[in-house]
Amino acid sequence: MKRFISLLVMFICAASFFIGPCVEGAVTLKDEKSYDPLEVLQALNYCTYSLSKIVSFNDRVVLSFEYDNIINNLNLNAITDEEIVKLMAKLMDTLKDEIISERKRERIEKSYQKRLERTLYNFLSGVNVSPQSVVSAAVSAVSSMGSMYVNYQRRIEEYMDESEEIIEALDDEKLDVINSIRKDMLTASWSIIKKYNIDDQYRLTEKQINEFVENVKSNPAEMQHRKLERLLQDNPAFEYFPPFWYYYSLTREEDEVFVLDCLNRFLQTQRPIFRRDILWASVLMERVRLQKETDSQSIRADLEEIIRQSNNSDWQNFLFVGLAYTKLGMVDEARRNLQRNIDNGYEVSLNSRLLAEILLDAGDQLQFEETMKKMLSDTRVSNSDKLYLIGRCRNVTYLNRFKEEISEIRLSAVNEAAATELVSPTYLLTIPNKWLVEDAPFDVRLFNENIDRSHHFESIDDPALVISTKKKRVAIKFPETGHTIARKPEKGITVNIKHPLIDMTLIYELEKKDIGRAAKTLIEAAVPFYSEVLGNYRLKEVAFMDERYIFTAKGILAESKDNK
């Protein structure tokens, strides 16, 4: 407890080390170590900012992150002051019981990961997937999302729509205590400013900070820009408050000149208050994205700083750095950062695929093959990522190791229960859940010379999908609409599955033998919306990445050029 109290004290008591007559000059203490007095004011402003966010959001997630920032993330040494010790101890005792559980934190992290994946696939939408487009899309996706905590604050209503259980409000008694501490903090801040004769013109008041928090939290970009512009005009102290410049830059993301100016103003005023600064890393990522690739020395310096400002859990930062190094042609540096995420278990599928693709494009065949072998046996890597890479290297040996997974995509003809007295087939495609990118849109088309039916799904959570949790399969049905005569199942049908990474075509033929009871039982257990199985289909050929492959009992064969 005493150790935590001391750490908490550092955040507000930093001024005890930064004694000086004015803001303009550095301060030299008796140990001959010089400090920038602006750090004193930033420490005070950040403390007021933190408490304001806790009260304004009234949300235990925000409280938990602010608590962690104070407890674990300070980069200051301070001489303890009895008055401040009591004040911060009171704050810690008030907050400690409100911290969210690790389980809830993991749920928020998972939600953030899904949003980042969806953002990535949105950037890839409508373009021909290539190594260059994937790298560029990933760089843009990460920089636009920011850190998990920043994204949570900006999109809190979306997180709440996804799961109302995520948001837990503080009780009135706790809020009253926090508000009381805010008042005491103001008195303590004023005392420090006066005691050490520090210029107060750059200290932000509680009212100013509150207005900033409310503007950033809830307004659309255009209105937010106008309000922040007025806030800066009315309160010049915001010029020296780095978070202001970060959030101001987000109000006109399409204006690169404006954004770069804001980012540079952030960097000019930022001081090393924290051990790891998530906003600092976010600012540098956005600046790297906007910088010209010819300025490699500046970009490399920013990438090194991003690494210094990131914890292992900030996996998106290391992903960004790895891809940025790739664009600079620095493959070893890229590999180290992506491998770091894989070793730590963060987004293993995405990082593995990107790492393998980087190695393949760099011509490092030995490292690529080693990475591919690990991926093919790793259940954490999605089938779509595996198949994408198999298609990229066009290696039929890898594809044969993947035969069973491909054959798990099954097609049947069934008669829907109570749909009609006529025996007219509804075609049923079942796909293992792991084949589908959870938050990516995908299209499925079933066709031949007689029929053409298709579905578009926004994600695996689409209500039009029938999901068997027990069998871990997704069922997609293609009914015949408006039919008036009985039909037999088609002898041959082609299925196309398309999502951001894969455009795969599967060619099926109707099996001649009658379907056995065991097969019926398997299908009925997976999907309960039909009463009769009319026939099963056998996978005959598959085509993707401009190559066609034949399925045989002995294995998968690349189709010869003469047969195309």
pLDDT in tens, 520-544: 555 555 555 555 788 899 999 998 8
Cβ atoms of 389 and 372 within 8 Å: the answer is yes
Q: How far is CA 120 from the centre of its chain?
A: 9
465/477 Cα distance (integer angstroms): 8
Q: Is the pLDDT of residue 263 over 90?
A: yes
Cβ atoms of 523 and 542 within 8 Å: the answer is no
How far is it between the farthest Cα atoms of the chain? 98
Q: Of residues 461 and 355, which shows the higher confidence score?
A: 355
Overall average pLDDT of the 196-207 stretch: 74
Q: Is the pLDDT of residue 84 over 90?
A: no
Q: Which of 115-119, 221-225, 501-505 has the lowest mean pLDDT?
A: 115-119
Which of 29-33, 67-71, 346-350 shows the highest mean pLDDT?
A: 346-350
Q: Of residues 115 and 321, which shows the higher confidence score?
A: 321
pLDDT at residue 546, rounded to an integer: 77
Q: Is the pLDDT of residue 132 over 90?
A: no
pLDDT at residue 154, rounded to an integer: 78
Overall average pLDDT of the 146-161 stretch: 77
Overall average pLDDT of the 157-175 stretch: 71
pLDDT at residue 9, rounded to an integer: 40
What rounded mean pLDDT belongs to the chain?
A: 78
pLDDT at residue 109, rounded to an integer: 81
Q: How far is CA 165 from the centre of its chain?
A: 20
191/197 Cα distance (integer angstroms): 10
Cβ atoms of 300 and 332 within 8 Å: the answer is no
Global model pTM greater than 0.75:
yes
260: confidence class by pLDDT, cuts 50, 70, 90: very high
Can you give the length of the chain in residues?
564
Q: Is the pLDDT of residue 29 over 80?
A: no
Overall average pLDDT of the 456-461 stretch: 81
Q: Is the pLDDT of residue 91 over 60?
A: yes
pLDDT at residue 195, rounded to an integer: 65
Residue whose structure tokens are 């979306």: 158
Q: How far is CA 123 from the centre of its chain?
A: 13
Output the CA torsion sign for 348, 350, 354, 356. positive
Cβ atoms of 159 and 153 within 8 Å: the answer is no
pLDDT at residue 331, rounded to an integer: 92
pLDDT at residue 155, rounded to an integer: 78
Show the tokens assigned to 143: 């920089």
Written as one string, the DSSP assignment of 378-427 is -TTS-HHHHHHHHHHHT-HHHHHHTHHHHHTSEEEEEEETTT-SS--PEE
Residue whose structure tokens are 């997180």: 159
78/314 Cα distance (integer angstroms): 28
Overall average pLDDT of the 338-352 stretch: 92
Q: Is the pLDDT of residue 320 over 60?
A: yes
Sequence-separated (6 or more) residues with CB below 8 Å from residue 279: 147, 150, 242, 243, 246, 266
Overall average pLDDT of the 305-309 stretch: 95
457/396 Cα distance (integer angstroms): 30
Reduce the DSSP state of residue 115 to 3 states and report it. Answer: helix
Output the CA torsion sign for 191, 193, 194, 195. positive
Q: Of residues 426 and 37, which shows the higher confidence score?
A: 426
432/217 Cα distance (integer angstroms): 40
